[in-house]
């Protein structure tokens, strides 16, 4: 095999990977990863500090987080799709060690159409 054929194969492979990554970033929605409550603050009103990440792909336009604690405290916040943290104002009082559920509704806009995805996570405050 000659050098020109090897170079051509290398560049074809390189540009194929680049195009694949661009298409993936534009067309595949990013998944929400590891939504969790990192801390509780305040006495009245109480706030829950929420953090999360995203997988590869295009980020959502916005995300709606609904938080509900086992003791009855609850709250909701809507954030921009670029945010990675938020303070959720709570109605009621949450305790350290209490279990909670986070319901996240992600709103995407791709190729001119809007669609939503929803996920739910349950955990316990440490």
- pLDDT tens per residue across span 91-114: 999 888 899 999 999 999 987 889
Q: Look at residue 52 and give its three-state secondary structure.
A: strand
- Yes or no: say if 78 and 93 are a contact pair by the CB < 8 Å rule: no
Contacts of 92 (CB under 8 A, 6+ apart): 46, 69, 71, 72, 73, 74
The architecture (CATH level 2) of 30-124 comes to Sandwich (2.60)
Q: Which pLDDT band, with edges at 50, 70 and 90, does 1 fall under?
A: low
Global model pTM greater than 0.85: no
Specify the long-range contacts of residues 75-82, CB closer than 8 Å, at least 24 apart. Answer: 75/48, 77/50, 81/106, 81/107
- pLDDT tens per residue across span 25-80: 667 899 999 999 999 987 778 999 999 999 988 899 999 999 999 999 999 999 99
Alpha-carbon distance values, 39 to 36, 68, 99, 109, 122 (Å): 9, 14, 13, 31, 15
Q: Look at residue 42 and give its three-state secondary structure.
A: coil
């Amino acid at each position: 095999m000659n050098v020109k054929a090897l170079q051509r194969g290398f560049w074809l492979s390189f540009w194929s990977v680049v195009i694949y990554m661009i298409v993936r970033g534009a067309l595949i929605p990013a998944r929400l990863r590891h939504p969790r409550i990192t801390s509780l603050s305040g006495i009245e009103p109480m706030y829950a500090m929420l953090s999360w990440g995203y997988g590869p792909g295009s980020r959502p336009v916005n995300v709606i987080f609904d938080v509900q604690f086992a003791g009855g405290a609850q709250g909701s916040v809507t954030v921009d799709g670029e945010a990675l943290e938020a303070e959720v104002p709570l109605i009621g009082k949450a305790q350290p060690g209490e279990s909670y559920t986070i319901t996240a509704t992600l709103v995407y806009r791709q190729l001119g159409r809007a669609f939503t995805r929803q996920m739910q996570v349950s955990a316990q405050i440490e």
